[in-house]
A and B are shown apart, each in its own frame.
Chain A
Amino acid sequence: MSQIDAKPRVALFVTCLVDLFRPSVGFAAIKLMEDAGCIVEVPEAQVCCGQPAYNSGDRKDTAAIAKQVIEAFEDYDYVVAPSGSCGGMIKDHYPALFAADPEWQRRAEDLSGRMHELTSFLVDVLKIQGVQTAPQDVKITYHDSCSGLRELGVKGQPRQLLDSIGGLEIVEMQTPETCCGFGGTFCVKYGEVSTDIVGRKTADITATGADLLLAGDMGCLLNMAGKLKREGSPVQVRHVAEVLAGMTDLPAIGESK
């Protein structure tokens, strides 16, 4: 369905970190999908995908939260999240959560089939070649967030979209696929280890000489931005959706006007 006749109805899964920390990513995602010909809605009943509970071993609460999410997104053609981590949670882990409950498992699988990460939705589902955004003269480097990369196969899609913007130069790090050490509650529970891991990452980022670091997940971005800023680095940090949508007038992550 490369030429979509009826406009698809897409629900945006905002993700809690975007909701709380970076609303502009939500608006950028809406703009990108509307530009690509979708009708985008944001169901109000959504809260969080349940990862904090899931990865803390609280399966019961996770299932309750997952049921809420499944219900909130039942009527849409597609559900899209500007995050590989929440996308992976819903797509990969929800069906497994309900192994003992066939009715909910069916509904979880149905949602799983309609769930996509933002850049992969634009490229793999909508088959858009690029974005219509004014040229931006900047040198960027891209961090492949673990869940997006390993659970959803997000790798080439953001780069292809970025390539379509004139003026951008992508310089790859030595270890774009290595974890930044965020890991949800890990970053606080094992703060010292997490800081060390992100320190190796920022060394690699700095070595590229890029002006701007991009990724597709707010968790990683907050972590890497926090470390870069502590180091006094001038590298700016943004969610890839902001750059793709040309919404770079707002201060970068961890910066003020």
Chain B
Amino acid sequence: MSMQVTTQNFEANASKALKDPNLRKAMQIIGGPMASRRVETARELPEFEALRDEGVKIKNHVLKHIDLYLEKFEQQLTARGGKLHWCRTPREARETILALCRSRDAKLVTKGKSMVTEEIGLNAFLEEHGITPVETDLGEYIIQLAQEPPSHIIGPALHKTREQVAELFEEHHPDYELPNVPGIKAGPRSTEPQVLVTEARSVLRDTYFRADVGITGANFLIAETGATVIVTNEGNGDLTQSLPRMHIAVSSIEKVIPNLEDLSTILRILARSATGQEMSCYTTLSCGPKRPEDIDGPEEFHVVLVDNGRSEMLGTALEPLLRCIRCGACMNNCPVYHSVGGHAYGWVYPGPIGAALDPHMIGLETARHLPNASTFCGKCEEVCPMRIPLPDIMRWWREQAHEKRITPPLQRWGIEAWAFAAKTPWLYRLGARVAIGLLNMLGKDKGRLSSLPLAGGWTDGRDFPAPQSASTFMSQYKASKKGGLK
């Protein structure tokens, strides 16, 4: 019921992505500008590394006492007139949200950006039950029009070129006329980002007022005050949560942090890691529904708290993943992500965090490619503000797959045969001598081979350098010592 999973087809997905010229064009921004802005803003803040350590400490502390902090959060939220709904499974969460919407007789729901609602497959579920959800974050809005899942956790439509977005808009609001915006040249289908943003905004404007319920995610839950926090660059989240009469914030359990001071610590590393901004444009704290003296705000305020397997991660090798603040730095800096984009990963969370998290959420068998499709270059761990040991966790998954015999037989036998030889040096040396002799002979003329049986994965796109000589270093070294060279 939740989002369609295509993770088991990672290889085919990746192959398709590698041949998609639009995707390749769109992905250039991630590896280039996004990654380098992170480096620059981090460099401008001398205490950046110390803040990271502090952030890790805060999260580790919370995870040790998560039950206490969540209870505290509920207490505070209730005291301010909000209501908390505890949901173990995606289904419980979906049904809770549906019941809330129905209690308001809702037909139209506006949504701020939220990955958890992707995780629980909320939009499709609401639609099935006669409720129309409208995404208000520009990226989410674009992929909703395109009927695609997000390809990045902070830039859901990063895989689309401006031209593709302009085409989508042409298709979905053909009658739209650009209002007179100073400084912007009107043209019916400009591909200027500012023009596209303006178009989306004016199309959405009226929806905000018509919506019966506003659903947002939450970047953080503050235990001390019962506040939910959202961080955006477009302000759409604020409109989503303050205009309709009911606000539902959907959050996973690990978003809770103790107090406002911790919030300010983590906010300082979040935006820098994510987009290379010092701060996001909007950081909004919501403390319950509208009070009698308030002039605006929702009449009802609900927080739907989703576990979906997270509490099982506590105390295991996977626990560090619960420190994740969904900044996207790991994917912005991942060479594999740069090549294949987010859709190839086939589920809600792509890139390194997805490779480490998805096997737990959708099953190792389904997701077995993800922890393997990494070069272990270590860049994700280097940039992760929460210092999550992503490669170690991917390796841990590989170990689980090996133990449970999920690894394809041929690969497993290959490694076991190799390991057997490596544990039996004479056999290893014999095998090496034969292989090297052969390769050297085959590649002698050019110093390389352009095809090699069983290594098509390599030679389809690269030559294979031949060994320098027909004998190994070890045998040459031994011979040189015998000759009295010592």
Contact = CB atoms under 8 A, between A and B. Distances in A.
Name the residue in A22, A183, A198 with the highest tally of chain B Cβ atoms < 10 Å from its Cβ.
A183
A192 B13 CA distance: 11
A250 interface: yes
Q: Is the interface of A mostly helix, strand, loop or mixed?
A: helix
A100 interface: no
A186 B423 contact: no
Contact of B465 (A150, A199, A229): A229
B463 A150 contact: no
A222 interface: yes
A126 interface: no
Nearest to A61: B419
Interface in B281-304: none
B447 A251 contact: yes
Contact of B340 (A24, A53, A193): A193
B446 A256 contact: yes
A44 B399 contact: no
B477 interface: yes
A236 to B, nearest CB: 11
Contacts of A253: 447, 465
B335 A181 contact: yes
Interface residues of A, number: 71
A230 B400 contact: no
B181 interface: no
B376 interface: yes
B460 A191 contact: yes
A194 B461 CA distance: 9
Interface string A25-62: 11100000000000000101101101011111111011
Given A16-B432, A58-B419, A193-B336, 19 more contacts: A14-B473, A14-B474, A20-B473, A44-B478, A47-B428, A56-B415, A57-B399, A182-B375, A183-B374, A184-B375, A188-B457, A189-B411, A229-B462, A250-B468, A251-B468, A254-B448, A255-B448, A256-B444, A256-B447
Interface of A: 14, 16, 18-27, 42, 44-45, 47-48, 50, 52-59, 61-62, 64-65, 68, 146-147, 150-151, 177-179, 181-200, 222-223, 225-227, 229-230, 250-251, 253-256
Interface of B: 11, 14-15, 18, 31, 335-336, 338-340, 372-379, 381-382, 395, 397-403, 407, 411-412, 415-416, 418-420, 422-423, 425, 428, 432, 435-436, 444-448, 450, 455-458, 460-469, 471-474, 476-478
